[in-house]
Amino acid sequence: MKKVITKTKKSARKKPKKAKPSTISAEKVRGGEKIKKVEKKTTTKKKVEKKEVKKKAIKPARYLESIGKRKTALARVRIFTKGKKEILVNAKPYQNYFFTPELQQVATDSLRKMKSLDKFKVLVKVRGGGIYAQAEAVRHGIARTLVKFNPDFRKRLRKAGYLTRDPRVRERKKFGLKRARRAPQWQKR
């Protein structure tokens, strides 16, 4: 008795693949609202489903932006006229970020000078340098932004010295020396 082995075609054994549903979308604008039509096609049911999703066109809040600097600290300041009147530094209230009253005073000096501490929402992203340099960079950035908001503020802020970028930066170390100018201690023998 011989065993008869019959071979079947591989294609006959495989199950037919299910097609993934494809989506076609189109957007229309009616009266400030975006209407998105989504069509889903499925091969198994052979039905076309249509959905309308309404999206309101959100206008971004308008703001004035400038950059303040001090040593290696850099502060990007945005001032909003609308919204809750607060000062946020790196997504924290400025009282939490600048923990001493002196640093808080330095950071908000330019707003205090123009008597507009409660008139703006101020968002600040600050990086680099030490905490005091960051506070001065925030002051410099807010002063620059206030001048963009109202050019009449320029004279008073300039006189107070808040628009001047303090040019003092740490001097670089030279080779053969311990620091920028500190020489190694001299030994007689």
Residue 4 within any structural domain of the chain: no
DSSP letters for the chain = -PPP-----HHHHSPPPPPPPEEEEEEEEETTEEEEEEEEE-TTT--EEEEEEEEE-PPPPPEEEEEEEETTEEEEEEEESSS---EEETTEEHHHHS-SHHHHHHHHHHHHHTT-TTS-EEEEEEESS-HHHHHHHHHHHHHHHHHHH-GGGHHHHHHHT-SS-----PPPPPTTSSSSSPPPPP---
The pLDDT tens digits for 75-109 are 999 999 988 999 999 999 999 999 999 999 999 99
The pLDDT tens digits for 144-170 are 999 999 999 999 999 999 999 999 999
Residue 84, domain CATH = 3.30.230.10
- Structural domain of 141: 63-160
143 has a pLDDT exceeding 90: yes
Residue 45 within any structural domain of the chain: no
pTM for the whole structure: 0.66
Quote the number of domains for the chain.
1
The pLDDT, as a whole number, for residue 32 is: 55
Residue 170 within any structural domain of the chain: no
Q: Which of 27-36, 137-146, 166-175 is predicted least confidently?
A: 27-36
